[in-house]
Structure 1
């Protein structure tokens, strides 16, 4: 899996760079909270290991999509308002076979 990420081609890397630039600009403009701040706030109510984080623009609002691995193997996907840190949606999936 890591090797596949490491051999990404130019267009994929350009897209990643663009995404990072957009996120940085939104942070500097005060449109979003820093990811570390949001993760700390989320951890208080939704403990788990962070597996993946995406920052997306949805209907004029910045949303952090956070996937967490919880104790017992459950997967929790959160949609968090990137400006306020408020959890908008939480969807839990249990590990198969449990």
Structure 2
């Protein structure tokens, strides 16, 4: 089931960048960090979540099936799992502050 297409995501990203200085991910999009109790809270200097999601979907076409927010070496990292049209699940790790793709691999 596809809820939002890539074109709509890009439009939403453009609008979000104009309207709000920072957006936090929804509570169900926050990951659990094994070294902390409870969800990891995003730092205030991170990119808006929708912008990071647009970066992920530009790198890998498909449907986002899971997103976790983790802290590694003092920085917030979004881990996206994307179901590609081929049926494979692709994992992307993206730096929340810069939008840089740190890792891409098939699960």
Q: Give the TM-score normalised by the residue count of structure 2.
A: 0.60
More helix by share: 1
Post-superposition offset of 1:91: 0.7
Structure 2 unpaired stretches of 5+: 1-36
Point out the structure with max Rg over C-alpha: 1
CA distance in 2, matches of 1:88, 1:49: 20
Match for residue 56 of structure 1 among 67, 70, 75 = 70
Structure 1 residue runs of 4 or more that deviate by more than 2 Å after TM superposition: none
Q: Which residue of 1 aligns with 2:85?
A: 71
> How far is 1:33 from its partner?
1.2
Aligned to 2:56: 42
User: Which aligned pairs between 1:73-88 and structure 2 lie closer than 5 A?
Assistant: 73-88=87-102
Count of residue correspondences: 71
RMSD value, Cα:
1.6
